[in-house]
Amino acid sequence: MGQVIDVEKVLKRINDFSNERDWNQFHSIKNLSMALSVESSELVEIYQWISEDESNDISNEIIKNKAREELADIFIYLLKIASKMDIDLETAALEKLDLNEVKYPVDKSKGNSKKYSEF
């Protein structure tokens, strides 16, 4: 992919949008977490009744555009929650990957989908 996301730019737009509408009063971490869950479910709904092959067909512009919108909503809520909690998502993701490398060593996990507790 190689893309670089300007998180500060996106977060500023998110905050400006919320501030202009006086919506921050509704944006508790609890409410934002619930909204994130709803948007994630809307992403799942796109793929609920289609085949595995259809779900991987990125040339289907209708599905791709629906997924794009839901992914954007998920990203917006995720950034808003991380910002409110003062969590650096880049650091958190890299640290989580470090933990996953320990939980899922290549020699035990390569080519299978078992959970680490099943090794």
Mean pLDDT of the 9-32 span: 97
The string of pLDDT tens digits covering residues 24-40 is: 999 999 999 999 999 99
Residue matched to tokens 């796109």? 46
For the stretch 85-107, pLDDT in tens is 999 999 999 999 999 999 999 99
Average pLDDT rounded to a whole number, residues 51-79 = 97
The architecture that CATH gives domain 7-109 is: Orthogonal Bundle (1.10)
Cα–Cα distance measured from residue 28 to residue 98, given in angstroms and rounded to the nearest whole number: 30
pLDDT of res. 87: 97
**What band does 2 get if pLDDT is binned at 50, 70 and 90?**
confident
Query: What band does 1 get if pLDDT is binned at 50, 70 and 90?
Result: low
Q: Is the dihedral of CA 52, 53, 59, 61 positive or negative?
A: negative
